[in-house]
Structure 1
Amino acid sequence: MKTIGLIGGMSWESSAQYYRIINQEVRERLGGVHSARSLMFSVDFGEIERLQHDGNWPALTIAMVDAAERLQRGGADFVVICTNTMHRMADEVTANISIPLLHIADPTGEVIAAAGYRRVGLLGTAFTMEQEFYKARLAGKFGLDVIVPDDADRAVVHEIIYKELVAGTVLSRSRAAYRAIMARLVERGAEAIILGCTEIMLLVGADDSSVPLFDTTTLHAQAAVDEALAGDTPESISG
């Protein structure tokens, strides 16, 4: 089994979900009391959030590269950044380590394309919804037509993430707001919706949307297990 290197803390609410999903998947696939071999370097999200809203992406890039290098030195076989937004500097991280980076958009795009959907809505932080680093990868690699909420709805989505979800606060009124925003994306032709922030899974699920939801947290964590167990069997791992 390969060792998974997790860059967490952005926020730790979703990082805890990564840890849970990864270990549940390993146990289900291998049976018994198997669990994942993993390392996590968890950052202080207070510092990260401030730099994001200051637009200090060079400092954020340094922080992500440093975290990835620490995981590599610690023995990780590949790196998982446990957040969508910080994949803005995925190329720089990849360039500074000699182990692979498992990009969060790839398992998401693969599953959506395989399901036959083309026009998809995207919810996430303002950075993920408005900048091109994420949408362009989904379009370029998987042929997806990605649409995002309008200005007012993007502001609501972003505020709920940063004022509530990253602190573990889940409110019924915020769930209702997300339901309405997703419905408007469907009215504009979205055949499916990407939960493109790793905390959104805490707020909404399949029952909140008339079209399929694709949760990047779950898909990314499952892909990490795929990579960790590639070529292994329960017998080979048990020795």
Structure 2
Amino acid sequence: MKHLGILAHSTEGAALCFRAFCQEGFAELGPHDHPDVTLDCIAMARSMPAWDAADHQAIRATLAASVQRLARAGADFFVCPDNTAHMALELPGEDLALPGLHIADVVADQAAADGHRRVGVLGTRYLMDGPVYPRAFAGHGIQAEIPGDEDRRTINHTIFSELVNGVFTESARRDFTAIIERLAARGCDAVALVCTEIPLLITPDASPLPTLDSTRLLARAAFDTATGRRPFPTWHGGPKP
């Protein structure tokens, strides 16, 4: 089995990915068993000024240093359970020290397998305004639908003031449910939870639309890669076609 490296950027999403990866092992390999996994996290505070300044190259450099540490720890490949971070990871630059799975490709593959045609995208304002998911979904002929301006502000504020800090309130759940209902009214047949903390707030039974849980989908893809059931990744960062 291959050794997984988890490139953490936001802690709650990374912790959920770690747990979900190990739980896949418990279910399929036996009690207490899972492939080796190492998690590396450089505090997101180091990158927030660069996010606000749209200095994605600086963020890429920080993430690359984390991947290098995972490589030194013996990891064979990496995943990054932070959708927004992929905006930086996709930039041209020196190859990352390890090959990795791209979270948006994992989510888009599942959306296509489920037969979805128009998918609402819930994430940080950086991600919702960016190209990562429109590109990934377009490769499968799927339309990415972004919430309206006010809804995007609500989502982003909740992510950074609550979710990444481990705060999950009924008020936020109602807000997100209403946003998903508005996406359904616009013709969406699913919603992609592509801030990795959102699945901790919106569970499938609470959502008006079928959900694409980016965190657990990535964990499952990582497990399948580590156990040889999924082709080993070749992406070392950089632009995706």
What is the CA-CA distance between 1:78 and the residue it aligns to?
A: 0.7
Task: Indicate how the Cα distance of structure 1 residues 208 and 55 shifts in structure 2: closer, same or farther if over 3 A, else same.
Answer: same
1:226 counterpart = 2:228: no
1:199 counterpart = 2:197: yes
Answer with 186-195 or 129-138: which moved more.
Answer: 129-138
Task: Indicate how the Cα distance of structure 1 residues 14 and 93 shifts in structure 2: closer, same or farther if over 3 A, else same.
Answer: farther
- Tell me how far apart the structure 1 counterparts of residues 136 and 210 of structure 2 sit (CA, whole Å): 21
What is the CA-CA distance between 1:46 and the residue it aligns to?
A: 1.7
- Kindly provide the amino acid, as one letter, of the partner of residue 211 in structure 1: L
5 Å matches for 1:94-109? 95-97=94-96, 99-109=98-108
Q: Could you tell me which residue of structure 2 aligns to residue 127 of structure 1?
A: 126
SS at match of 2:90: helix
- Tell me how far apart the structure 2 counterparts of residues 7 and 33 of structure 1 sit (CA, whole Å): 23
5 Å matches for 1:1-80? 1-8=1-8, 10-80=9-79
- Tell me how far apart the structure 2 counterparts of residues 97 and 47 of structure 1 sit (CA, whole Å): 19
Task: Indicate how the Cα distance of structure 1 residues 81 and 216 shifts in structure 2: closer, same or farther if over 3 A, else same.
Answer: same
> Which residues of structure 1 form unaligned runs of 5+?
233-239
SS at match of 1:197: coil
The RMSD of aligned alpha carbons is 1.7
- Tell me how far apart the structure 1 counterparts of residues 212 and 31 of structure 2 sit (CA, whole Å): 29
- Tell me how far apart the structure 2 counterparts of residues 143 and 84 of structure 1 sit (CA, whole Å): 20
- Kindly provide the amino acid, as one letter, of the partner of residue 176 in structure 2: Y
- Kindly provide the amino acid, as one letter, of the partner of residue 212 in structure 2: F
SS at match of 1:55: coil
- Kindly provide the amino acid, as one letter, of the partner of residue 154 in structure 1: R
Task: Indicate how the Cα distance of structure 1 residues 92 and 5 shifts in structure 2: closer, same or farther if over 3 A, else same.
Answer: farther
Q: Conserved in 2, the CA contact under 8 Å of 1:6 and 1:39?
A: yes
Q: Conserved in 1, the CA contact under 8 Å of 2:2 and 2:225?
A: yes
Task: Indicate how the Cα distance of structure 1 residues 227 and 54 shifts in structure 2: closer, same or farther if over 3 A, else same.
Answer: same
- Tell me how far apart the structure 2 counterparts of residues 162 and 110 of structure 1 sit (CA, whole Å): 28
Match for 1:189 among 182, 187, 190?
187
Q: Conserved in 2, the CA contact under 8 Å of 1:195 and 1:216?
A: yes
Higher helix share: 1
SS at match of 1:34: coil
SS at match of 2:192: strand
- Tell me how far apart the structure 2 counterparts of residues 100 and 58 of structure 1 sit (CA, whole Å): 19
Alignment length (residue pairs): 230
1:83 counterpart = 2:58: no
**What CA deviation, in whole Å up to 9, does each residue of 1:13-42 have, x standing for no partner?**
111111110001011111132123011111
**What CA deviation, in whole Å up to 9, does each residue of 1:78-116 have, x standing for no partner?**
111120000012334885135321000122111110111
- Tell me how far apart the structure 1 counterparts of residues 79 and 174 of structure 2 sit (CA, whole Å): 31
SS at match of 1:142: coil
User: What TM-score do you get using the length of structure 1 for normalisation?
Assistant: 0.91
The percentage of aligned residue pairs carrying the same residue is 34
Q: Conserved in 1, the CA contact under 8 Å of 2:120 and 2:192?
A: yes
- Kindly provide the amino acid, as one letter, of the partner of residue 68 in structure 2: E
User: What TM-score do you get using the length of structure 2 for normalisation?
Assistant: 0.90
Q: Conserved in 2, the CA contact under 8 Å of 1:193 and 1:211?
A: yes
- Tell me how far apart the structure 2 counterparts of residues 93 and 18 of structure 1 sit (CA, whole Å): 26
- Tell me how far apart the structure 1 counterparts of residues 93 and 28 of structure 2 sit (CA, whole Å): 29
> Which residues of structure 2 form unaligned runs of 5+?
231-241
**What CA deviation, in whole Å up to 9, does each residue of 1:144-194 have, x standing for no partner?**
100010011000000000000000111111110001000000000000000
